[in-house]
Structure 1
Amino acid sequence: MKSQPQSIRERIERVDDRLVSVLERYGHRLHRRSLGVLFIWLGLLKPMGHETATSLLAHTIYWGSPETMVLVLGWWEVAIGVAMLYKPFVRVALFLLLLRIPGTVLAFVLLPDVTFIEFPLIPTPEGQYLLKDLVLFFAAMAIGGSIRHEYS
């Protein structure tokens, strides 16, 4: 008996199945590690003296001088990144992020003239940076939801 030639749809489904398998196997791990590297990279900019939107956050947190708070927030981000790199510490990273998010939201509330050109649709570059922080937080939550799976 001759085997029937595969339809184009069957071939596409087979390729799609392989692709999804690769994404399931490596996607979460790469996502977690890339977030870790990003947090370390952006966090280190602050203690190295590079201006970032964190200086905006430092002005909304009243536990120290803005200069001190920029350093604290920078090292805080480095700690988040290191914790994201090591799967057993992802919960620690999520906790550190959870503690940091109120400062991000507070910046939008206390400094809307600095975070928006036109509220609520046109953020300033500083506002865009803070929105990125919120997206990274939700991305980290997705990783946190998968840490019990073998592929994380």
Structure 2
Amino acid sequence: MQSLQQRVRRLDDRILRTLERHGHRLHRRSLGVLFVWLGLLKPLGHETATSLLAHTVYWGSPESMVLVLGWWEVAIGGSMLYKPFVRVALVLLLVRIPGTILAFVLLPDVTFIQFPFVPTPEGQYLLKDLVLFFAAMAIGGSLRHEGS
């Protein structure tokens, strides 16, 4: 009869194998869906914190930049969903991330209630963008090792 410790170790091994087999693929796909979903909100006329980014990018009117940034996010998401294009998604994210950081620098009164520990809802949205960026980098780092 197996000890409880051996059974727990076998269960743990099975769980870890499952996570290793499916984790990066599910992570990549969930990021893709999230980017497409949030990106489509902009061209469909729903206001998001991207309008804040549109005011920090000095090419074109903020209204047109919201559309550009929305479709840019859709392109990132679509590229994440189709594994051969993940590298394209990473490049698109690299181009986009300076705008996120720039919003914190140029508009600290809009991004923070109390710098640096109390972000506004807009600041929280931008912090989420930074986390998604680093999550995408982790996916990119796994491309050579992932079989899915």
Offset at 1:148? 1.5
Tell me which residue corresponds to 1:88: 84
The number of residue pairs the alignment matches comes to 148
Greater C-alpha radius of gyration: 1
Amino acid paired to 2:139? I
Tell me which residue corresponds to 1:149: 145
Amino acid paired to 1:31? H
Query: Over aligned residue pairs, what C-alpha RMSD do you find?
Result: 0.7
Tell me which residue corresponds to 2:63: 67
Tell me which residue corresponds to 1:54: 50
Tell me which residue corresponds to 1:130: 126
- Conserved? CA contact 1:53–1:126, under 8 Å: yes
**Deviating more after overlay: 140-149 vs 129-138:** 140-149
Distance in 1 separating the partners of 2:100 and 2:146? 32
Distance in 2 separating the partners of 1:31 and 1:41? 15
SS of 2:21's partner is helix
Distance in 1 separating the partners of 2:17 and 2:52? 42
SS of 1:117's partner is strand
Offset at 1:150? 3.4
SS of 1:89's partner is helix
Compute the TM-score of the two structures, normalised by the length of structure 1.
0.96
Distance in 2 separating the partners of 1:20 and 1:151? 16
- Conserved? CA contact 2:75–2:89, under 8 Å: yes
Tell me which residue corresponds to 1:26: 22
Distance in 1 separating the partners of 2:53 and 2:127? 12
Distance in 1 separating the partners of 2:111 and 2:125? 9
Offset at 1:147? 1.0
- Conserved? CA contact 1:47–1:71, under 8 Å: yes
Compute the TM-score of the two structures, normalised by the length of structure 2.
0.98
- State percent identity of aligned pairs: 82
Once the two structures are superposed, what CA deviation does each residue of 1:97-116 show, in whole Å capped at 9, x if it has no partner? 00000000000000000000
Structure 1: gaps spanning 5 or more residues = none
- Conserved? CA contact 1:90–1:144, under 8 Å: yes
Q: Does 1:43 align with 2:39?
A: yes
Offset at 1:31? 0.3
